[in-house]
Amino acid sequence: MSYSCKTQHQKPVIIRNPKSGFVLDACEYHVKIQHYSGSPSQKWTLQCLNQGKFMIINVGNGKALDIDNGAKICAKLITFHKHGKTNQQWYVNADGTLQCPVDNLVLDIVNGKYYPGNNIIAFPKHGRENQKFQLQPEYTNIDDTASNLTKLTITHTTKVRRFREKSMSYGFQPPPPYQPGAPPYQPGAPPYQPGATLQSGFPSGAPPPYQGGQCAVIRNTPSGLCLDATEYEVKLQHYTGSPAQQWILEPVGGDRYVLRNKGNGAVLDIEGGPDCGANLITYESHGGPNQQWFVNPDHTITSGAANLAVDVCDGQCFPGNILIAYDRHGGPNQQFHLEYH
C-alpha cells in the first residue's frame, strides 16, 4: 500500500516491521525498534508536503523523523525539530519501504537483527525484510477499520486486511499497558523501582582493590543498576548475575584498563571513536585508546583517549537506558563503583 497526499493524515499510526512485529520507538535520541507498548513515543502522524512526500512526526516529542547529520549511508535515524529539509522527507511506498528522496536511502534495521533496542539507519534500498514497515492505525473496533483506511486515501494493491491490535500475535508475550513516565518495556525484567538500593554487603564508598582475574559488576551508585552487554549497545539493567553484567579488568599500563565483558568476550568501546555523545558498545579488542579506561577515585570511569566519562544518557537512570561517552562532570549519572565477585 502507498499513501496519497490528497488527504493529510492526522490520526496516529504505529510503524511496524512485519517480520519481527517490533515498532519504531522514539523514547531515546536514536529511533529504535521495541515491543509495542502503546507509548506516545511509538505513535506517528504524517504531515503532507508535496509530490507524494511526508514528514513523519512523533506524537510523544512532536519532532520529525530525521537522518542524523544529513542523508548519509548508515547514519542513524533520530527525531529532530521540524525543518522540512530532504532528510526529513519520506515516501511511503507500496513495497513497504519508507524512502528518503536522497540517494535511494530507506529505513533499515541494522544488520537485520531483530531485537528490542536495535537501531534504525538509512541504507541503500534492497527491499529485504529489515527494510519493510507497515503503517497501522490503532483501532479497537474492527468494523471501523476499513472505512477509516479509505478516509486516509490508502491505495491498495491487494485486498485490505482488517486488523485488530488486541488479537494480533507476534510470537512474544504482550507488554503491560503503557504508564506515563514508565521506562521502555524490557521482556523479563523486574519491575522498575526508582531509587533502588544497592545490594547489602557492597558499600557505596571506594571500590576494593582489584585482584587479577576477578569479575566485577559495574554499578551506577545512585540507582544501583548495572552495566549490561546483552545487546550491541551497553545499557543499564537490574542486577541478574548474568555474565553480560560481569567485567574483567585487564591492566594495559599507565593506570589504564581494558574492561572485558565475560558474556561475549568483547571489550568496552566508544562507538566510532572518542566523540562526546557516542554510544558505548562492546567490540572485538584492538587495543585502541577508545577501549582503554581509567577507574578513578571520584567514581568516574574515563576514556584513555579523551576526558570523556561513562555517562547514563540524559541522566535518566532506568533499566534499558543506554550508556554514552560524555564530557566528565562527575554528576550522579557518571558515578559508578565496582563490586568484585
Let me know whether 154 and 19 are in one domain: yes
With respect to residue 223, please indicate whether it lies within any of the assigned structural domains.
yes
Q: Write down which residue in 106, 135, 167 finishes a domain.
A: 167
For residue 146, what pLDDT is reported? 35
For residue 152, pLDDT over 80 is answered with no
118 in the same domain as 7: yes
Within a domain: residue 202? no
Question: pLDDT tens digit string along 292-311?
Answer: 999 999 999 999 988 899 99
Please check whether residues 39 and 163 belong to one and the same domain. Answer: yes
pLDDT at residue 282, rounded to an integer: 93
Task: Say which residue the cell 520529525 belongs to.
Answer: 64
Domain region containing 42? 2-167
Q: Domain for residue 209, yes or no?
A: no
Closest CA to 218 of 138, 131, 295: 295
Asked if 159 and 24 sit in the same domain, the reply is: yes
**How many structural domains does the chain have?**
2
Confidence of residue 232 (pLDDT cuts 50, 70, 90): confident
Q: What was the pLDDT predicted at 147?
A: 38
161 and 31 within one domain: yes
203 in a domain, yes or no?
Answer: no
* Assessment of whether the complete model's pTM goes beyond 0.85: no
CATH of the domain at 157: 2.80.10.50
Q: 301 lies in a domain?
A: yes
Q: State how far the alpha carbon of 203 is from the alpha carbons of 198, 207, 224, 259, 340, in Å.
A: 8, 8, 11, 21, 12
Are both 137 and 260 inside the same structural domain? no
b/e burial code for range 186-204 (CB count within 10 A of at least 16 → b): beeeeebeeebebeeebee
Same-domain status, 88 and 221:
no
Both 85 and 151 in one domain: the answer is yes
The percentage of the chain sitting over the pLDDT mark of 70, rounded to a whole number, equals 75
Q: Are residues 241 and 137 in the same domain?
A: no
Q: Please, what is the average pLDDT of the chain? A: 77
Q: Are residues 234 and 101 in the same domain?
A: no
- Domain annotation covers residue 183: no
- Does residue 103 register a pLDDT over 80? yes
Q: Is residue 191 part of a domain?
A: no
In-domain check, residue 180: no
Looking at the fold, whether 322 and 247 belong to one and the same domain comes out as yes
Q: What is the pLDDT of residues 159-168, one digit of tens each?
A: 323 322 333 3
Of 78 and 111, the structure prediction assigns the larger pLDDT to 78
The torsion angles phi and psi of 111, rounded to 5 degrees, stand at 60, 15
Q: Which of 151, 167, 183 is the last residue of a domain?
A: 167
For residues 83 and 227, membership in a common domain is answered with no
Model pLDDT, residue 10: 66
Last residue of a domain, one of 147, 167, 187: 167
* Contacts by 175-179, CB closer than 8 A, 24 or more apart: 175/35, 175/36, 175/37, 176/37, 177/37, 177/38, 178/37, 178/38, 178/39
